[in-house]
Each structure stands twice: as C-alpha cells, then as structure tokens.
Chain A
Amino acid sequence: MRKPFNLAFCPVLAVVFLVLRIKVKNAETGAAVEMELENENTIDEVIESAATFWSKDMGAYVLRKGKKVLRGGSSLSDAGIRAEDVLELIPDPEGG
C-alpha cells in the first residue's frame, strides 16, 4: 500500500495548499505539540486537536498568541496565525 504523501515535505505543494506548521504549548505540563494545518482551519479546531491529544476538556481552556486571546470559529488566517508561531493552551479555571 502506498504511503500518503506528506505535503509538509514538498515546499511547492505546501505553498499551493497552504499547509503550515505551528507549535502549541501546554502551560500546565510544559509539553508541546507540533501541528500541521491549513489557513482555513479554525482556532476551535486547534484547541480541540490539542485538548483531545492531551485528553482534556476543550471548554476549560483558552488559546493565546502573545498577549492576545484566540477565540472560536475564526480561521487561522483571520487570527493572524503564521507558520512557526508558538501558541499556548491556558486553563480557564472556576472556583466556587
């Protein structure tokens, strides 16, 4: 069976399909994942992917780039995310 072609290894096709790679840090453990995605993927998809990978509830987190909170259904391009950006998953705790 043929192995699926990885666009990230072919710069020309990667540009055509706008594959970009970012890093998402887990602020509570110091771990980080490298993630491949497209400009049209949403912030929610990034949070969901990272939360699922680390077996977390995505609703209990916010994602940040620098001092800015990244929210909801906006696309990566709309949120100004570029290749090699480092985002951080931050807990959103509630005390009672």
Chain B
Amino acid sequence: MPMTRPKIVRETRRGIPETEPPGSRKLKPHQWFSTMEKELFEVRLRSSVPFDVYISSAAEKKVRDHAERYAAGRLEVLGFLLGEVCRWKGKMYTVVRDAATTELRSSPSNVRFAPNAYPKLFHQLDGSGFDYIIVGWYHSHPGHTCFMSRTDVETQRASFREPYHVALVIDPVTREVRTFRLTGEGCEETSFAIYAAEPRKSADSPRRRKLRLKPVVAH
C-alpha cells in the first residue's frame, strides 16, 4: 500500500482574551529613550490609547544585557520574545513577558541561532513557566542604529506576519531601541512601554490556559 501524505484533521486556535493593559502607574519609557521619545511616550500615556507593545522590565533587561555583552566585539545578538496577545476595547496589543535565546552564529552584520544550540533554547522556552506564544524576536545592530534591514523584513515576512508580532531592534553602542511590525509594504515602527511585572498569578497555568482554546475544524 503506498504511503500517504500527512493529513491535518483538526485545528485549534487560541482565543484572544479581553484584558486591560498594565496601568499607567506601572509604565515607564525605555531608559535609552531620547528626550523627544520620552515626550512622545508621555503624550501617549496621557491619551489613554493603549501602546502596541508592553514589555516587562525583566524581559527588557535580558535583551539589553544580551546586546551589551556582545557590543564590545560589535557582534549581533538574537532571541525570541515570549508573551501573549490581548485585546482591550477593540484594540489588540502584545505583552512581552520574557525573552529566550541560546548560543549564536554571529557577526557584526548577521546573526542566527547556532545549529547545535537548540536544546538550550528549548530548555528556556519550557522554563518560561507560562503557556507562551513567541510574540516576536529581538536582535541587535551594534553601532548601526535601529532599523529593519532587508534580511530582517524577510524574517518578519517568513515567520512573524501576524499584526501582533513584534521585531525589537536594539543598538547597544548608540543606545537606541525600537519596535517594528509588518505592514503591506515593509515594516513600520510601533509604540511600546516598559511595565513593572507583577508576581505570576495561578490563572496563568498552562492547564487554565487550555480552557480558552477554541476548536476549529480544518478545511
């Protein structure tokens, strides 16, 4: 009997919870923001329009420390942003709770995960302690400022096409950081805030999360 191709019989999608974003008292601008960026941050904060992305102070520190560790050698770094997607008053936003990475194959102008370093990355994903979504990725441009190169846009198109997917670019030499998302033409900059994370609630356990899954029959 000839071997058949794998057959997909059912898809399950995760619902997007209606959750209020972190309150303004918990929010702060990134410490590397310029005076103008801080002013824009304050305007956004007063407008009560949610930011596009909320990054926990712990995740932000991990990313910054990682980029700074390799800055002396002008080597790029790379990792995943782990979190969740929420909705509030009709607007979708992204919460980055943690970051994960592993050993890299890196140069001043290119970076990937080292081919044999995935087990360490998977260990970090499993150790995140919540039912994560890889809501985006981060990488550094040491000394080149923050923008989306052609390679970066290709990565965004290939793997991070959802409207909530974030590309965080950090330059530890010029001390800049920006977030981007995919648009029809390329990538556009998005707004983000740093929030002070609360202790993890029991409702975040993977078992509780499973209850939110909506079954969808595959076509």
A interface with B by C-beta (< 8 Å): 8, 17, 21, 27-38, 40-41, 45-46, 49-50, 53, 56-57, 60-62, 64, 66-69, 90-96
Contact = CB atoms under 8 A, between A and B. Distances in A.
Interface of B: 1, 3-14, 76, 78, 80, 109-113, 118-119, 121-123, 125-126, 131-135, 137, 139-140, 149-152, 154-155, 158-160, 162, 165, 218
A60 B8 contact: no
Contacts of B112: 92-95
25 contacts: A8-B9, A17-B1, A27-B125, A28-B133, A28-B162, A33-B11, A34-B8, A34-B10, A35-B9, A38-B3, A49-B5, A49-B6, A49-B7, A49-B8, A50-B8, A53-B218, A56-B158, A60-B159, A61-B159, A62-B118, A68-B119, A93-B113, A95-B76, A95-B149, A95-B155
Contact of A95 (B111, B118, B121, B133): B111
A93 B155 contact: yes
Contact of A64 (B76, B78, B118, B218): B118
A64 B117 CA distance: 13
A94 to B, nearest CB: 5
Contact of B14 (A29, A38, A53): A29
Top 7 A-B pairs, shortest CB-CB distance = A96-B151, A95-B139, A30-B14, A91-B159, A60-B158, A37-B6, A49-B6
B177 to A, nearest CB: 14
A40 to B, nearest CB: 5
Contacts of B134: 27-28, 90-91
B183 to A, nearest CB: 18
Given A37-B7, A91-B137, A95-B140, 17 more contacts: A27-B125, A28-B134, A29-B14, A33-B8, A34-B9, A35-B6, A45-B5, A60-B158, A67-B122, A67-B123, A90-B125, A91-B159, A94-B110, A94-B111, A94-B151, A94-B155, A96-B109
Contacts of A46: 6
Contacts of B119: 67-69
Contacts of B7: 35-37, 49
